[in-house]
Structure 1
Amino acid sequence: MVFLQFTGRVSAQSLTGTTGLFHIPTAEMMSDRTFMAGVHQIPAKYSLYGRGLHDNRYGFATLTFLPRIELMFRYTYLLGVDRSSRTSGPFMDRMVAARVLIIRESGYRPALLFGVHDPGQAFDVAANKYFGANYLVTTKHFSAAGFRAALHAGYAFDLFNEATQVYDGLFGGMSLSHQALPWFEIMAENDSFRWNAAAKLLILNRVQLMAGLMELKNPAGGISYRVTL
C-alpha cells in the first residue's frame, strides 16, 4: 500500500518562479539554502513573450541564501510555434530575478522586501525585455482559531531605465491555511491588471502542486520541487 504524506507548511513559488502567491510576489522567503526548480504555464492571453499569441511555459531554478537574498533564473518557452516557419531567432527567453528581504516580520511589524525582475537594459546588457518588474512588497501573518492567514501588499514602479511590465502600480492578495491541513493553501490576489485565485498543495515537504484561474476564468499552474542544500 502506498501512502502520500502531506507535510510542512506551504510557502513557495508563484507562477513567475519567485516566492509569492499565485502570480504576485510576497515578502516571504524560503529557508536559507533552499533550492527550488519547476515548470509553470500560463495562457497566451496573459503572456508577455509571444505578444499574447502563444502559451508561455516557464522553467525556473530559485535559490535562497545568506538568508535574505533570493535569486531566480528562468527560461520562458513559446508553445505552439511552428519552428519550420521561422528562419532565425530563439524560441525562448532567458531572464533573472533578485529579491532582498529588507525587514523581517516581527510582532506587529510586517516584512518588507525589494525585488527586481529581468534587469539589464539600464546597463545595455539585455537585448530584449519582456518580464520587467521593480517592486516593494510587505507581508503580515495572522493566526486565529487554527487558521493562518497572510496579507500581502506591494507597489511596482519604473526604476532608472528599467520599466515594470509584469506588475504596474498597486498589487496585493491574501492566503489562508489551517493547522489541520498546513500543506494546503488557498489564495486570492490582484496583480495590478486582474483578479486571480488559486490553491497550492505541498507533498512530502518537497513537491509543490499549484493550480488556479487567471482573471478567475482561465487555468494556469505547474509543479516544483524543493530541497535544502
Structure 2
Amino acid sequence: MRLVVARCSVDYVGRLTAHLPMATRLLLVKADGSVSVHADDRAYKPLNWMSPPCWLTQEEGIWRVENKAGEQLIITLEEVLHDSQHELGVDPGLVKDGVEAHLQALLAEQMETLGAGYTLIRREYPTPVGPVDLLCRDQAGAVVAVEIKRRGEIDGVEQLTRYIDLLSRDPLLGKVTGVFAAQQIKPQARTLAEDRGIRCLVLDYDRLRGMDDTVGRLF
C-alpha cells in the first residue's frame, strides 16, 4: 500500500464530472490497483475513488487513474508532504468475536444456562436437514433441541422447527421440544417461536466467557 499526503486537486471525468479544489488530502494506492482520495473526516468513506481494474500513470505533478470504461480520476499535486510504501501481505480476514461456534462451545460447557438439571447429549447432532447445534435433556429427562444464533431471526426459528419435527419422529427420542438461543432475538422471531412452543433464551456472551463484571455493576 502506498500512502501519500499531499496538497492536491482532484477531477473525475466520466459519466459525470466532479471537482475537488486544492486542499491537503490522503491518497491511498492499494495493491489491487484501486486509488482513493480521503479527507480528515468521513470515517472510512473516501471523497473520490477509482475501483479496480484501473491503471495509474504519473506525469510531472499529475496522476491519471483510468478504468476500462475510459473514466478518469485526475489528481493534480501541488505539494507532497509524505510518500511511503508498505507491504501488508495477505490479510487473514475478519475474525468475529462471539460467532455461533463459540457460543455453541460455551453453552455446551455451561448447560445450567439453559436451566437447572439440563445435560448435554451431543453437539452437532445430525438430522437429514442439517445438524442441531445442541441436543440436550432437561431435568425431567425430555429431549430438547437447541438452535444457537448471534442474531435470532425468523429463519432461525423455521430451521429449529424443521429439526424438532424430524427428531420427534424418532421413537428413541420421543417428543422433542426446542430452545432458540441468541445474543439478540427480533420481536417477530420471538413471537413465532413462542407460538410454536419454542422457548427463547437471550445469551450474554461476556457472562458465558466469565467476563461479566459482577463487582463493578450497580445491578
TM-score, normalised relative to structure 1: 0.28
* Greater length-normalized contact order (CA 8 Å, ≥ 6 residues apart): 1
State which structure, 1 or 2, has the greater radius of gyration over its C-alpha atoms. 2
User: Could you say which structure has the higher helix fraction?
Assistant: 2
TM-score, normalised relative to structure 2: 0.29
